[in-house]
């Protein structure tokens, strides 16, 4: 399943990347792939902007604008003029540990 084309704010700075593979390890959508021994963005449209890769890349080679992706949260944010915030008590990953 893919969401809208070309909307993810994921940015990858290849020149800073040391190919440590951490991003491949933490991304739940296989956005990064190893190609000719180098890490590349395989499919940006699969990115859900969770931010795990950017948070765990020691070399600052990834930037992504991560945040709550639910409509209610974003509407709340628009109304209050602040950041999107949701009151989701749980999410799809209820089977995750």
Which spans of this chain sit near ligand SF4 (rule: CB under 6 A)?
10, 17-23, 26-27, 29, 31, 39, 47-53, 57, 59, 61-62, 64
* Among ligand SF4, another protein, none, partner that 79 touches (CB below 5 to 8 angstroms by kind): none
Sequence-ordered list of residues with C-beta below 8 angstroms from that of 6, at least 6 positions apart, any chain: 44, 45
Sites for another protein among residues 61-90 (CB under 8 A): 65-75, 78, 84, 86, 88-90
- Is residue 23 within 8 Å of residue 32, measured between CB atoms? yes
Q: In degrees rounded to 5, what are phi and psi of residue 50?
A: -75, -25
The DSSP 8-state label assigned to residue 42 in this structure reads S
Please count the residues of this chain forming the interface with another protein, following the rule CB under 8 A: 50
91 is a contact residue toward another protein (CB under 8 A): yes
């Amino acid at each position: 399943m893919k969401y809208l084309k070309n909307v993810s704010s994921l940015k990858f700075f290849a020149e800073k990347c040391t190919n440590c593979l951490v991003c491949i390890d933490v991304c739940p959508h296989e956005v990064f792939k190893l190609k000719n021994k180098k890490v590349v963005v395989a499919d940006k449209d699969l990115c859900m902007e969770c931010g795990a890769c950017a948070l765990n890349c020691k070399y600052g080679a990834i930037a992504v604008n991560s945040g709550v992706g639910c409509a209610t949260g974003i509407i709340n944010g628009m109304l209050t003029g602040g950041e999107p915030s949701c009151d989701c008590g749980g999410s799809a990953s209820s089977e995750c540990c």
